[in-house]
Amino acid sequence: MQNQSPKVSAAARNALTLGALGVVFGDIGTSPLYTIRECLRALPPGEHAQAILGVLSLIFWSLLLVVSLKYTLFVLRADNRGEGGVFALLALSQLDRPGKTVLNLGVIVVLTGAAMLCGEAIITPAMTVLSATEGIKEVWPGVEHYIVPIAIAILAGLFAFQYQGTKFIGRIFGPVMLLWFVVLGALGLWHVIKNPFVLHALNPLLGVELLVLHPKESTILLGSVVLAITGVEALYADMGHFGRRAINTGWYAVVLPGLTLNYFGQGANVIAQGGQVENPFLALAPEGPLRLALLALSIGAAIIASQALISGAYSLIRQAIQLGYFPRLTIKHTNPDQPGQIYLPLVNITLALGAIATVYGFKSSSALAAAYGIAVTATMIVTSLILFVVMRRAWLWPRWQAFLLCLLFIILDVTFFGANIHKFADGGWLPVFIALGLLAIMTTWKLGKAEIFRRIYANEITESELSKIAVSEHVTRVRGTGIFMAGNPTGTPLVLLHHVKANKVLHETVVLLSITTDEVPVVADADRFTVTEIGNGVWRAIGRYGYMESPDVSSLMQKVRGAGVPLKLSEATYYFNREMIVTGGDTNMLEWQKQFYAFLSRNARQARDYYQLPPMQIIEVGLPIQL
């Protein structure tokens, strides 16, 4: 979806903004559940009012500099035909163009960011649900031992219903999150009015003063402050669903005011209570029914925040599959009206097991906070680095201008990242471990596919030679249509040569079909396919899809027939190579990568299912390949 045009009605813009509140801002919107609490624990003993003002100043200016300046003003401009996310940056930066090294440094950096985001998709549900359910002990003391089982049960239920898609539940996400931000702002404003002294925290010097006066604690403190901006990458990753205008409107009109008032309200209440507050968020509401209602609302908001990252992981993995960085997986579309609403069963199971294991292993949101910061800040650094390349290559900015702006962003990002490094042994290893695993999959798959393409598909059989083979006296033409899947849209597929060599026959109509993925989210219908006649009953068809689309070869072939190719789809036979990987060759891959690629290839979703073809019309030819 492109960013909304000014012609869009006010009602449509409001609907998009409401939807953005429910999906885009769920993660960053639930940060008040734990941010102030973790910051207070990082303060030196005995510090009180002045230190709390410094904490509020750091949080407020982090929101302004990172979210308002970096993301809403600059990063959201880096859209690829309306779509955002790290793979949109990859396309705009032109780091993955044909002719370049398969895995250059820029591509590795982008893949690292993608891997970190997937790690965040495991940690975020665990963190938000666990922090919300921990409020139960504030309402019902003595039930601490039930918190982890309740959080696990909520997560299990959340992942169990993913197969139904977000169409139904998405209708209530927006209104619930709107209510959430209104309640955040109202409770915060109430306490700010009672103690307007906290408004002094708008002064950025108070935050700087806190860090200067307490250099030993500054690292720990900044590592807690960064929790206020977790989920900022969701603004960019989900841009394609709602557009930049709706996201900016939601941020400035609803989210930023609500978050600011709530953080300042928590600070005002903590100061009024002399710093003796176990759960600063729930303490905003008076004891009794209001606090119970706030707890229930916070749990609902936490579930919604989890959903945003889960859906984001589905889109991210599909983009990686389309661009050739991930093995084929089963992709199910849950809403025929919204192609972006998808469900990946294997990814869902992996996220569910990862989130539940994280809750069981860490047992408290305070312990899990250590794992949270590293994933967020590492992804922020990747975005800043690739944004510089986009500014130079896509926006044609002067080098000095792009450098100075991105240098500011990188200084902020690296500062926050450095403040989280000390957490590595306490849990920061988790996102790094997850990212390394995903990075190994993506790099190995890309290298393996590139090597196979070089060895197998880039053969020297030209179209003119193929035309001569079609009329050779040694080849018998039989009735029907043979559709041969070609990895190279300019060569002759090896499966056709094997078929002719073994059987000495060729169908009267032969189609060489290649499916390519363009570095755009969605390909226009006018550019969907091209058909050229090679001669002697042989045709070449090329289908083009964006990285946000799933190929549908049956539908494509109907369009090919409509373009004049004489074929009967009911009688067509589709031929595929079935790769049989053998290690021990001389390819430029490490031995463990060869073994790993062989494992991934055996377990990848079969091509006939990925391309949505009728199983009774498929023939697969075994093709041993030594890597």
pLDDT digits (tens, 9 = 90+) for 32-67: 988 998 898 888 766 678 899 999 999 999 999 999
SS3 397: coil
SS3 575: strand
**Mean pLDDT of all residues in 584-613:** 84
Please check whether residue 560 is in contact with residue 541, taking contact to mean a CB–CB distance below 8 angstroms: yes
Please check whether residue 114 is in contact with residue 321, taking contact to mean a CB–CB distance below 8 angstroms: no
The C-alpha atoms of residue 284 and residue 270 are separated, in whole angstroms, by: 9
- Of the candidates 327, 308, 332, the one whose C-alpha atom is nearest the C-alpha of residue 19 is 308
The C-alpha atoms of residue 207 and residue 55 are separated, in whole angstroms, by: 6
Are residues 556 and 437 part of one domain?
no
Give me the domain span that covers residue 343.
13-446
The C-alpha atoms of residue 544 and residue 529 are separated, in whole angstroms, by: 6
Global pTM value: 0.83
Residue 22 lies in a domain: yes
pLDDT of residue 3: 41
Please check whether residue 455 is in contact with residue 625, taking contact to mean a CB–CB distance below 8 angstroms: yes
Are residues 231 and 330 part of one domain?
yes
Are residues 307 and 191 part of one domain?
yes
Are residues 40 and 132 part of one domain?
yes
Of 395, 412, 446, the position where a domain reaches its end is 446
pLDDT in tens, 209-244: 999 988 888 888 998 999 999 888 888 887 877 788
Of 419, 446, 473, the position where a domain reaches its end is 446
The C-alpha atoms of residue 546 and residue 551 are separated, in whole angstroms, by: 9
pLDDT in tens, 545-555: 887 788 888 88
Looking at the 3D structure of the chain, how many domains does it have? Answer: 2
DSSP one-letter code for 243: -
Q: What are phi and psi of 484, to 5 degrees?
A: -105, 120
Residue 484: CB atoms within 10 A of its CB come to 26
Residue 552: CB atoms within 10 A of its CB come to 14
Residue 453 lies in a domain: no
pLDDT of residue 21: 86
Are residues 568 and 424 part of one domain?
no
Residue 202 lies in a domain: yes
Which pair of tokens denotes residue 252?
């400035």
Are residues 279 and 146 part of one domain?
yes
Residue 455 lies in a domain: no
Q: What is the CA radius of gyration of the chain?
A: 27
More confident residue, 368 or 8: 368
Are residues 19 and 136 part of one domain?
yes
Q: How confident is the model at residue 604 (pLDDT cuts 50, 70, 90)?
A: confident
Q: Residue 511 to residues 280, 350, 470, 507, 521: CA-CA distances in angstroms?
A: 67, 39, 12, 10, 27
Are residues 496 and 433 part of one domain?
no
Are residues 488 and 425 part of one domain?
no
Residue 2 lies in a domain: no
Residue 4 lies in a domain: no
Q: What is the CATH number of the domain that holds 287?
A: 1.20.1740.10
Are residues 606 and 526 part of one domain?
yes
Residue 605 lies in a domain: yes
Residue 430: CB atoms within 10 A of its CB come to 25
pLDDT of residue 547: 75
Are residues 378 and 230 part of one domain?
yes
The C-alpha atoms of residue 566 and residue 511 are separated, in whole angstroms, by: 10
Are residues 398 and 330 part of one domain?
yes
The C-alpha atoms of residue 212 and residue 206 are separated, in whole angstroms, by: 10
Residue 7 lies in a domain: no
- Of the candidates 226, 217, 181, the one whose C-alpha atom is nearest the C-alpha of residue 20 is 181
